[in-house]
């Protein structure tokens, strides 16, 4: 009752087939497209494994920072609005502290996404 | 016509031979895609002549037809594809150094091209206008990008030392946009984005991490050091402004990140079904990372 191979295994196989069998037979724009698709397969494979947990970690750190529980998209929009608003606020110690926490949060989030989209970029 | 055409966003490039009496010259024709581009072509031709006069390595102009939006110039030997250039650099000791100093010299000369005869160039010198433009791009995206929001704020909050009078700025001087031979840069290409502005913008753009094509440790295009670039730039008469270099590095990183986000937006809106645009959505995070690291301090 459980399909095999699973999604991750299929994506791995798709990437390998594209790179090893299809790519050598192509050139020019098509070759470029095949490389991109193979890379996207690898990204999706990593996303299946690590994506949901990474998004939840970001969501929870936003809940702590903004003191409100909501979905990830809602919280991101909240953060963006807060940053827009702070553009006109004079720098106070509180603001500087908030700034530092925002940057720490954003960097942690970016590093988790890079592990899926471009492993090795953040080091 | 002798060669295959390549199709860019606005232009077609054709390879041909120009035969005059007994002489055959290999040439390249660039044909604008629309009427607006035709007017820009006249400007570009004037600029190419001025650049050549100033001693910059550029393809020599053979003919210009602004009505047809066509520029025909001599074909120059060399390689421009980034990964191939980096392989050449790896294989030939000293080429990386030579390229770096050629970059510095070329940019210094470009920045000293007299502006008197080049009136119609867009003046993008004011830095607060740049931040406004970034804000507009940000607002055009349907999903929020807090990191880029921080980037725009950083630009507004960090004033830099006095920008000089508006100067000719290439606008897209980076690995991929100049031809390389075993002797160094053989020609500077892709002059479509030239404008009046702050010369440090060109230097910052050249050194962005995204243009090192994986050879991240060497700041200049993956082939050279910042010290070598600066030394060559100043040696050829350029003025290096450190704070402005930093400001423009943040500004151009932000610009490129927003550009990729815009490409993704175009795909999501259904303006295009190109897989290249779809995939660019997953490159945005790299520029966010670069930006966050640049704003640390």
- Fold for B6-74, please state it: Phosphorylase Kinase; domain 1 (3.30.200)
Residues of chain B found within 8 Å of residue A107, distances taken between Cβ atoms: 289, 292
Q: Which residue has the tokens 């947990």?
A: A53
HEC profile for B179-227?
EEECCEEEEECCCCCCEEECCHHHHHHHCCHHHHCCCCCCCECCCECHH
Selection from B33, B28, B199 nearest residue B113 by Cα: B199
Q: State whether B292 and A106 contact (CB < 8 Å).
A: yes
Residues of chain B found within 8 Å of residue A86, distances taken between Cβ atoms: 153
* Average predicted confidence (pLDDT) for chain A: 92
Note down pLDDT in tens along chain B; length 297 residues: 555 444 344 678 888 888 888 888 899 988 876 656 667 788 888 899 999 999 999 999 998 888 888 889 999 999 999 999 999 999 999 999 999 999 999 999 999 999 887 767 776 666 668 889 999 999 999 999 999 999 999 998 897 766 678 899 999 999 999 999 999 999 999 998 888 889 999 999 999 999 999 999 999 999 999 999 999 999 999 999 999 999 999 999 999 999 999 999 999 999 999 999 999 999 999 999 999 999 996
* Residue in A39, A103, A118 nearest the CB of B286: A118
Minimal Cα–Cα distance from A76 to chain B, Å?
Answer: 7
Minimal Cα–Cα distance from B244 to chain A, Å?
Answer: 22
Quick one: tokens of A2? 């459980």
Q: pLDDT at position A94, please? A: 61
The more confident residue out of A19 and B5 is A19
Q: pLDDT at position B8, please? A: 42
Residues of chain B found within 8 Å of residue A110, distances taken between Cβ atoms: 147, 285, 288-289, 292
**pTM assigned to the model:** 0.92
- Fold for B82-294, please state it: Aminoglycoside 3'-phosphotransferase; Chain: A, domain 2 (3.90.1200)
B274, closest residue in chain A (CA to CA): A33
Those residues whose C-beta lies under 8 Å from the C-beta of residue A37, and which sit 6 or more positions away, are A18, B275
Task: Identify the residue among B4, B5, B213, B289 best suited for mutation to test binding to A, counting A beta carbons within 10 A and taking the highest.
Answer: B289
Residues of chain B found within 8 Å of residue A36, distances taken between Cβ atoms: 275-276, 279
Quick one: tokens of A111? 């590093």
Minimal Cα–Cα distance from B246 to chain A, Å?
Answer: 19
CA–CA separation, A18 and A56 (whole Å)? 32
Q: pLDDT at position B7, please? A: 39
Pairing of strands B70-74, B61-65: antiparallel
* Residue in B143, B147, B282 nearest the CB of A117: B282
Dmax over CA atoms of chain B, in Å, equals: 65
CA–CA separation, B270 and A52 (whole Å)? 27
User: Are B37 and B10 within 8 A, CB to CB?
Assistant: yes
Quick one: tokens of A30? 């098509």
Selection from B170, B210, B174, B177 nearest residue B193 by Cα: B170
Q: pLDDT at position B278, please? A: 96
Residues of chain B found within 8 Å of residue A37, distances taken between Cβ atoms: 275
Domain boundaries, chain B: 6-74, 82-294
Q: pLDDT at position B164, please? A: 75
Q: pLDDT at position B5, please? A: 43
Terminal-residue alpha carbon distance, chain A:
43
Quick one: tokens of B262? 């815009």
Positive or negative torsion for Cα B42, B131, B290, B263: negative
Q: pLDDT at position B291, please? A: 98
Minimal Cα–Cα distance from B6 to chain A, Å?
Answer: 11
CA distances from A45 to A12, A27, A52, B76, B134 (A): 7, 26, 12, 44, 34
Dmax over CA atoms of chain A, in Å, equals: 61
Q: Which residue has the tokens 């490129």?
A: B256
Residues linked to residue B23 through DSSP beta bridges, in sequence order:
B20
Those residues whose C-beta lies under 8 Å from the C-beta of residue B112, and which sit 6 or more positions away, are B54, B237, B238
The residue count for chain B: 297
Rounded percentage of chain A residues whose pLDDT exceeds 70: 93
* Residue in A83, A102, A110 nearest the CB of B289: A110
Residues linked to residue B267 through DSSP beta bridges, in sequence order:
none
Q: Which residue has the tokens 């966003």?
A: B9
Residues of chain A found within 8 Å of residue B286, distances taken between Cβ atoms: 114, 117-118, 121
Confidence of residue A10 (pLDDT cuts 50, 70, 90): very high
Interface pTM, i.e. ipTM: 0.93
Quick one: tokens of A73? 């998209």
One-character DSSP codes across chain A: ---SS-HHHHHHHHHHHIIIIIGGG--HHHHHHHHHHHHHHHHHHHHHHHHHHHHHHHHHHHHHHHT----HHHHHHHHHHHHHHGGGSPP-HHHHHHHHHHHHHHHHHHHHHHHHHSTTS--
Q: pLDDT at position B2, please? A: 58
Residues linked to residue B184 through DSSP beta bridges, in sequence order:
B181
* Residue in B146, B276, B286 nearest the CB of A80: B146
A103 class by beta-carbon count within 10 Å (0-12 exposed, 13-18 middle, 19+ buried): middle
Q: State whether A103 and B286 contact (CB < 8 Å).
A: no
One-character DSSP codes across B69-128: TEEEEE----B--HHHHHHHHHHSTTHHHHHHHHHHHHHHHHHTS--TT-TTS-B---HH
Domain boundaries, chain A: 7-117
């Amino acid at each position: 009752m459980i399909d095999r191979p699973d999604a991750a295994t299929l994506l791995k196989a798709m990437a390998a087939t594209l790179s090893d069998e299809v790519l050598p037979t192509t050139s020019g724009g098509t070759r470029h497209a095949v490389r991109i698709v193979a890379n996207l397969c690898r990204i999706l494979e990593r996303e299946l494994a690590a994506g949901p947990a990474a998004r939840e970690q970001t969501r929870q750190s936003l809940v702590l920072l903004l003191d409100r529980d909501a979905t990830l998209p809602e919280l991101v929009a909240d953060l963006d609005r807060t940053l827009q608003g702070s553009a006109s606020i004079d720098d106070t110690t509180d603001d500087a502290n908030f700034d530092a926490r925002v940057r720490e949060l954003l960097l942690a989030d970016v590093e988790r996404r890079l592990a899926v989209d471009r492993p090795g970029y953040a080091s | 016509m002798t060669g295959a055409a390549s199709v860019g966003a606005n232009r077609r490039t054709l390879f041909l031979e120009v035969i005059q009496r007994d002489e055959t010259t290999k040439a390249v024709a660039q044909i604008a895609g629309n009427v607006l581009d035709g007017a820009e072509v006249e400007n570009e031709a004037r600029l190419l002549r001025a650049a050549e006069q100033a001693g910059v390595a550029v393809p020599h102009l053979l003919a210009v037809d602004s009505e047809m939006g066509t520029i025909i110039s001599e074909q120059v030997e060399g390689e421009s594809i980034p990964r191939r250039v980096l392989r050449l650099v790896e294989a030939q000791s000293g080429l990386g150094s030579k390229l770096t100093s050629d970059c510095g010299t070329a940019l210094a000369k470009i920045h000293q091209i007299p502006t008197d005869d080049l009136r119609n160039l867009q003046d993008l010198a004011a830095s607060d206008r740049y931040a406004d433009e970034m804000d507009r791009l940000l607002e055009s995206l349907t999903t929020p990008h807090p990191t880029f929001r921080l980037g725009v704020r950083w630009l507004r909050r960090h004033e830099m030392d006095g920008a000089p009078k508006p100067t000719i700025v290439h606008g897209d001087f980076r690995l991929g946009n100049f031809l390389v031979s075993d002797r160094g840069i053989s020609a500077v290409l892709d002059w479509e984005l030239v404008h009046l502005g702050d010369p440090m913008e060109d230097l910052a753009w050249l050194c962005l991490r995204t243009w090192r094509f994986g050879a991240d440790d060497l700041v200049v295009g993956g082939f050279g050091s910042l010290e070598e670039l600066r030394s060559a730039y100043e040696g050829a008469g350029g003025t290096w402004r450190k704070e402005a270099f930093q400001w423009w590095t943040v500004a151009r990183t932000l610009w490129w990140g927003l550009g990729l986000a815009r490409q993704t937006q175009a795909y999501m809106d259904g303006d295009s079904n190109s897989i290249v645009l779809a995939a660019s959505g997953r490159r945005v995070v790299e520029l966010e990372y670069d930006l966050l690291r640049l704003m640390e301090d």
